[in-house]
């Protein structure tokens, strides 16, 4: 079984690449972030033509998440139970579903903007709520994983130059401690280093030739429970999908399971 996560940075802009990638990669379950479209504009029909169904949580703004599956889709939960509001509402940053023998969450963790900003406090609160929401599944016997754009680089090795990010979000001790709390809840990072590349980044800014110069970050993560980690056969970042015209600024992260 092949499971992946990909921040597509607008599913409308990326749809031709997304459909081609699903066909060529043989992915069974794909967690998507930053759909940037409402549910009424989501490409259900195009995905259905390839044999996929989708669970979507989106409102048409800059967030939006989905789980796309060709192995079943059940027990869908939209939103983060107990999660915080921002500007008076809960943003569409989480959706979970059972896909065949595996349960997954697709998450788009708040960016945080800058240390000390209200959005930074919101980000930490959101991650705390995520830990509480997944605790039962994390401790269970069914393979379970939280996949998505966490907007946190777990270690200094996950950014191209730690000095560039000094004092910025994505690398602060508080954000990394929040990832540690997820691990304490029974989850682990199931995409090991090194992979094909010494530093398997997943995100490169569009500006300043960051991708050609490999000035990236590893912020798209797969955190699985013990049964999920035990079933893992392989994992990789599909760096090739970041190349070329019309690419997202994130690359897909893929995990193969024996379940």
Q: Is 250 annotated to bind ligand?
A: yes
Is 236 known to be catalytic? no
Separation in Å, CA 93 to CA 79, 148, 152, 239: 7, 10, 15, 24
How long is the chain? 259
- Of the residues 122, 189, 238, 250, which is catalytic? 250
CA atoms of 42 and 56, how far apart (whole Å) = 8
| From 52, 108, 201, 203, the catalytic residue | 108
- Look up residue 127 and give its DSSP letter: H
Establish whether 250 is a catalytic residue. yes
Tell me: is residue 149 an annotated ligand-binding position. yes
Per the annotation, does 7 bind a ligand? yes
The residue among 28, 5, 8 whose CA lies nearest residue 18 is 8
Q: From residue 245, how far is each of 94, 242, 250 by CA, in Å?
A: 29, 9, 13
Q: Is 151 annotated as a binding residue?
A: yes
Q: Is 149 a catalytic residue?
A: yes
Taking alpha carbons only, the member of 200, 174, 205 closest to residue 189 is 200
- In sequence order, the 6+-apart residues with CB closer than 8 A to the CB of 92 are 57, 58, 59, 63, 64, 65, 78, 79
CA distance 140 to 228: 10
Measured CA to CA in angstroms, residue 84 lies from 49, 119, 123, 130 at distances of 36, 11, 9, 10
With beta carbons less than 8 A apart as the criterion, state whether 235 and 256 touch: yes
Question: Which of 28, 149, 158, 220 is labelled catalytic?
Answer: 149
Q: Which residues are annotated as a binding site for Mg(2+)?
A: 7, 34, 149, 151, 249-250
Q: Which residues are catalytic?
A: 108, 149, 250
Q: Which residues are annotated as a binding site?
A: 7, 34, 149, 151, 249-250
């Amino acid at each position: 079984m092949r499971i992946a996560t990909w921040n597509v940075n607008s599913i409308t802009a990326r749809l031709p690449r997304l459909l081609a990638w699903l066909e060529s990669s043989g992915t069974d379950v794909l967690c998507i972030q930053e759909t940037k479209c409402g549910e009424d504009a989501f490409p259900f029909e195009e995905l259905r033509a390839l044999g996929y169904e989708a669970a979507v949580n989106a409102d048409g703004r800059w967030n939006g998440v989905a789980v796309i599956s060709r192995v079943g889709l059940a027990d869908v939960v939209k939103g983060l139970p107990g999660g915080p509001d921002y500007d008076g509402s809960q943003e569409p940053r989480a959706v979970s579903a059972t896909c065949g023998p595996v349960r997954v969450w697709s998450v788009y963790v708040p960016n945080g903007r800058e240390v000390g900003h209200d959005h930074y406090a919101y980000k930490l609160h959101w991650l705390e709520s995520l830990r509480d929401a997944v605790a039962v599944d994390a401790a269970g016997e069914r393979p379970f994983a939280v996949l998505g754009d966490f907007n946190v680089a777990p270690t200094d090795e996950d950014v191209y130059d730690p000095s560039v990010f000094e004092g910025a979000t994505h690398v602060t001790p508080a954000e990394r401690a929040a990832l540690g709390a997820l691990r304490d809840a029974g989850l682990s990072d199931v995409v090991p280093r090194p992979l094909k590349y010494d530093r398997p980044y997943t995100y490169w800014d569009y500006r300043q030739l960051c991708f050609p110069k490999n000035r990236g970050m590893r912020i798209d993560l797969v955190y699985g429970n013990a049964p999920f980690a035990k079933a893992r056969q392989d994992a990789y970042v599909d760096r090739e999908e970041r190349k070329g015209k019309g690419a997202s600024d994130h690359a897909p992260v893929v995990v193969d399971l024996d379940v």
